[in-house]
Amino acid sequence: MKRINAVILDWAGTTVDFGSFAPTQIFVEAFRRAFDVDVTLAEARVPMGLGKWQHIEALGKLPSVDARWQAKFGRAMTAGDIDKIYATFMPLQIAKVVDFAAPIDGVVDTIATLRAQQIKIGSCSGYPRAVMEKLMPAAAAQGYAPDCWVATDDLAPGGRPGPWMALQNVITLGIDDVAHCVKVDDAAPGIEEGIHAGMWSVGLAVSGNEFGATWEEYQSMSPQEIATRREGAAAKLYAAGAHYVVDSLAALPEVIADINARLAKGERP
C-alpha cells in the first residue's frame, strides 16, 4: 500500500528544546573558553544541523567570525583550532543537554497519533553519540522515545547534509521504500538530508533554529513579529528543498494525510 510508513525526526528544535538553544549556547561558550573569541548566538545558529565538528568549522568560516579570528591571531582557523574548540564543546554539551530534553508542546500527542496509524518513528541528530546517550533517556523519562536513533558520528561517510543517517533509519526500521518516509527538521542541512535520501522533507518554521526564540519569548510575541520570523524561517527551509513547511511537529499528521493522497495518485518526492 502506498502510504507513509515512517517518519525520521531531528532532535533539538524538532522534538525537544524549543528554539534549539542547547547546542547554540554551548558553541558560544566553547569559542570563548577555548580561544577567548566571541561569537554571537545568531552566528552560532547559521550552520545548525551539521555535525558539531563541521559546525565549528563552518562557524569559523563565517566572514564576521573569521574577521575577529584573523584580528586576534593573524591567520584563519585551523583544523587543530577546531579540535580544541570541539574538545571544549563536548563536555559542556554532555553536561547541559539534559536540561533541554523536555518534548516540545504537541510532540508526545503527535507521536501517539502517528503510532496509532502504524507509522514507525525514527530519529537522527547533529549531536554525536556521547551527547545522544545522555539526551535519549532524559527525553524518554519525559515522554518521548523514538523507535531508533542515529548520531552524527555513527556512520563513516559523515552527517548532514548527506543522506546516511536517514538511510540508516530506513534499514533499522525495515522500510521498503524511501518514498514512504518523511524526514522532519528545523534546519536547512536536515531538509537537504531528507531530499538526498529520496524522502519527503518537512520543515518546522517556528519550533526550531530558524525562528530562534524560547517558548516563553514566542508566547509573548506580537502576531506581527511571529509572522515576520515565520516567513523568514519558512523561506530558508523551502530554499533547502522542503516539500512542506509547518510551524511545529503538531501539524505533521495533516501533512502526512496530504502526502498519502499524493502517493495514492502515483506521486513521489
DSSP labels for 147-187? S--B-TTSSTT--TTSSHHHHHHHHHHT-S-GGGEEEEESS
DSSP 251: G
Radius of gyration of the chain (CA): 18
Closest to 189 (Cα-Cα) out of 3, 52, 15, 27: 52
DSSP 203: E
Kindly list the catalytic residues.
Answer: 10, 52
Q: Which one-letter amino acid corresponds to residue 119?
A: I
Closest to 187 (Cα-Cα) out of 65, 87, 58, 91: 58
Strands, sheet with 120-123, edge to edge from the N-terminal-most edge strand: 120-123, 6-9, 181-185, 200-204, 244-246
User: 220: exposed, middle or buried (C-beta count within 10 Å: 0-12, 13-18, 19+)?
Assistant: exposed
Which cell numbers hold the place of 213? 526564540
Distance CA 116, CA 230 (A): 30
Which cell numbers hold the place of 217? 519569548
Residues shown for the chain:
269
Distance CA 13, CA 67 (A): 29
